[in-house]
Amino acid sequence: MLEYLLTILLGFISVLLLYSFCGRRRKDGEPPLIKGWIPFLGKALEFRKNSQEFLTRLQKKHGDDFTVLIAGRYITFIMNPLQYPSVIKHGKQLDFHTFSDSAASRTFDYPPIRSGHFPGLSDQIQRSYTLLQGPALDPLTFSMMGNLQKVLRQLFLSGDEADDHWQQAELYKFCKSAMFQSTFKTLYGHSPHLDLDQLREDFEKFDDMFPLLMARIPIGLLGKTKEIREKLIRFFYPQRMMEWTAPCKFVQTRTALFQDYDTLQDRDKAAHHFAMLWASVGNTIPAAFWCLYHLISCPEALAAVREEITNVLGEKNMQLIFKEDITITRQQLEQMVYLESSVNESLRLYSVSMNIRVVQEDFCLRLDGQRSINLRKDDIIALYPQSTHLDPEIYKEPKRFQFDRFVKDGKEKTDFYKSGQKVRYYRMPFGSGATQCPGRFFAMNELKQFVCVTLLMCEMQLLDGQQEASMDNSRAGLGILPPANPIPFKYKTRKTLDCTDREE
């Protein structure tokens, strides 16, 4: 037995020695290299535990740019936002899609789009994204408004209690039901036979495993995840989707597009639709939570946003909301600058998305006037916007939610400074450059609509002595962090509030 253990130990030591002699070494002109002592894994564990802290520590020690071994990959972090523009403008040598295509196809289980089996598909998918933007946003906004009001009316009025009592619920659960259902219906359409609560539960189970899947842990090792993913994919089979009424133009176009490819199986098409569901609700739900949470935690912010909503919509329009659908147009949403600033402030505080680019050829990247670094083909370049979002030089008291941080003289504030220079990329929850999130305009609108309709329909308060919401850091690197603890709140529909207001 002892002999056996010794052999293992010796084996382990020789791997370590081999690794330290033969592993990658820093060459001239390359950024400092941090490998850790564990082969392959490198610094993966420290990175996962608290990326923000870990990277800030490395930045203090090694400067603004360094390369870290994380789970078999050499990732070069560019930490100074003043250097972001040079990364973003090298779209050709630093490509986003090589990474996203392979990660997405592995996670959602469809064949890589760029594998050569589907000529033109990737370009057509990119083109379909215009249907989430510009003029296409008007019908989406209209449809979302209708769905939100139906869903929220049902959530608020379904309680047994009489309307004029305070009722209690949990805030994240509330945001999840409301945003999931409304977004699903707006994008994919409706059918009386769909069980969206069940879909959401499965979705959440899958989503919990998402960080592990992205870290390339084989799905077979993750309990029932594979089964659940299969069920989620099956939800979107073409014959089922055909029965849903009023899907948006974007989903219709994608469905028709997939139909054109004989090389795509029905299951592959379904997996693509499932991936889009993930993209469309995965980040919007936590973002909705943080925005609403901070507004109801801060009386000053709530009053300012309420007043803005009243000013834009008019008192009369608002009192109708329990009787009939009201409309809030895209133009009206644009006028709500305090609300927009509150949404952006939530995205600033809780977005931890890394921006990843794969180096296409060995080359020398000029970062600014003085500095340039050599990069190797297939290495990964990462921007880590969270460190910019929490930089005390750019944002005073960076950890504090300040609802009007992005407003100056009644208009959007866009000047933020670091080392005396104006920072161009001071807030980037949606990625950067050509690969920015194509759903960002729709997402911003949805979030504003959700807050508007919720505040119009009810009065909300946190419970006395409620613990503050903290973030669940286990998803570092991916999207908007969810809250770690439950936040109970009480609410009272404004149907009755409005009546009492009038009696007084």
Ligand X SMILES: *[C@@H]1O[C@H](CO)[C@@H](O)[C@H](O)[C@H]1NC(C)=O
Is residue 444 within the footprint of ligand X (CB under 6 A)? Answer: yes
By beta carbon distance, the residue nearest ligand X is: 406
Tell me 36's DSSP state.
-
Window of 173-181, 195-203, 268-276, 335-343 that interacts with ligand X by CB under 6 A: 335-343
Is residue 339 within the footprint of ligand X (CB under 6 A)? Answer: no
How far CA 65 is from CA of 29, 373, 423, in Å, comes to 12, 9, 18
Structure tokens at 50: 């608290």
**Which DSSP helix (H) or strand (E) runs through 25?**
none
Q: Which is nearer to ligand HEM, 288 or 313 (CB)?
A: 288
Q: Which is nearer to ligand X, 186 or 341 (CB)?
A: 341
Q: Which is nearer to ligand HEM, 67 or 351 (CB)?
A: 351
**Which DSSP helix (H) or strand (E) runs through 487?**
none
Residue from 207, 308, 340, 391 in contact with ligand X (CB under 6 A): 340
Is residue 337 within the footprint of ligand X (CB under 6 A)? Answer: yes
287 binds, among ligand X, ligand HEM, none (CB under 5 to 8 A by kind): ligand HEM
337 binds, among ligand HEM, ligand X, none (CB under 5 to 8 A by kind): ligand X
Contacts of 144 (CB under 8 A, 6+ apart): 182, 183, 186, 445, 446, 449
Is residue 333 within the footprint of ligand X (CB under 6 A)? Answer: no
435 binds, among ligand X, ligand HEM, none (CB under 5 to 8 A by kind): ligand HEM
Tell the smallest beta-carbon distance from residue 333 to ligand X (Å): 11
Site residues (vs ligand HEM, CB under 6 A): 96, 100, 132, 279-280, 283-284, 287, 351, 353, 355, 429-432, 435-439, 442-443, 479-480
Task: Please state the separation of Cα 141 from the chain's center in Å.
Answer: 20
Of the candidates 152, 173, 235, the one whose C-alpha atom is nearest the C-alpha of residue 199 is 235
> How many Å apart are CA 73 and CA 75, to the nearest integer?
6
Are 17 and 39 a contacting pair, CB within 8 Å?
no
Tell the smallest beta-carbon distance from residue 408 to ligand X (Å): 10
Tell the smallest beta-carbon distance from residue 340 to ligand X (Å): 4
Q: Which is nearer to ligand HEM, 35 or 448 (CB)?
A: 448
Is residue 446 within the footprint of ligand X (CB under 6 A)? Answer: no
Window of 59-67, 221-229, 339-347, 373-381 that interacts with ligand X by CB under 6 A: 339-347
Q: Which is nearer to ligand HEM, 301 or 480 (CB)?
A: 480
Q: Which is nearer to ligand HEM, 42 or 429 (CB)?
A: 429
The DSSP annotation for 325-337 comes to -----HHHHHH-H
How far CA 259 is from CA of 235, 318, 466, in Å, comes to 17, 44, 52
Q: Which is nearer to ligand X, 156 or 350 (CB)?
A: 350
Is residue 351 within the footprint of ligand X (CB under 6 A)? Answer: no
Contacts of 32 (CB under 8 A, 6+ apart): 26, 62, 63, 65, 66, 67
Tell the smallest beta-carbon distance from residue 480 to ligand HEM (Å): 5
Tell the smallest beta-carbon distance from residue 107 to ligand HEM (Å): 12
> How many Å apart are CA 442 and CA 332, to the nearest integer?
15
Q: Which is nearer to ligand HEM, 304 or 358 (CB)?
A: 358
487 binds, among ligand X, ligand HEM, none (CB under 5 to 8 A by kind): none
Is residue 375 within the footprint of ligand X (CB under 6 A)? Answer: no
Q: Which is nearer to ligand X, 415 or 504 (CB)?
A: 415
Of the candidates 90, 105, 120, the one whose C-alpha atom is nearest the C-alpha of residue 358 is 90
Of residues 245-264, those binding ligand X (CB under 6 A):
none
Phi-psi category of 77—alpha, beta or left, where left has phi over 0 and alpha has psi -120 to 50?
beta
Q: Which residues pair with 77 in a beta bridge?
A: 66, 382
Contacts of 68 (CB under 8 A, 6+ apart): 34, 35, 42, 43, 47, 58, 74, 75, 76, 77
Residue from 161, 170, 412, 472 in contact with ligand X (CB under 6 A): 412
Q: Which is nearer to ligand HEM, 284 or 386 (CB)?
A: 284
Is residue 279 within the footprint of ligand X (CB under 6 A)? Answer: no
Are 343 and 305 a contacting pair, CB within 8 Å?
no
SS3 363: strand
**Binding-site residue total for ligand X (CB under 6 A)?**
8
Residue from 67, 80, 341, 346 in contact with ligand X (CB under 6 A): 341
Q: Which is nearer to ligand X, 113 or 291 (CB)?
A: 291
Are 105 and 112 a contacting pair, CB within 8 Å?
yes
Name the CA dihedral angle for 304, 307, 308, 311, rounded to a multiple of 10 degrees. Answer: -160
Report helix angle 225-234 to 266-281, nearest 10. 100
Residue 275 CB-half CA count within 13 A: 21
Tell the smallest beta-carbon distance from residue 502 to ligand X (Å): 34
Tell the smallest beta-carbon distance from residue 147 to ligand HEM (Å): 14
Contact positions toward ligand X, by CB under 6 A?
Answer: 337, 340-341, 344, 406, 412, 440, 444
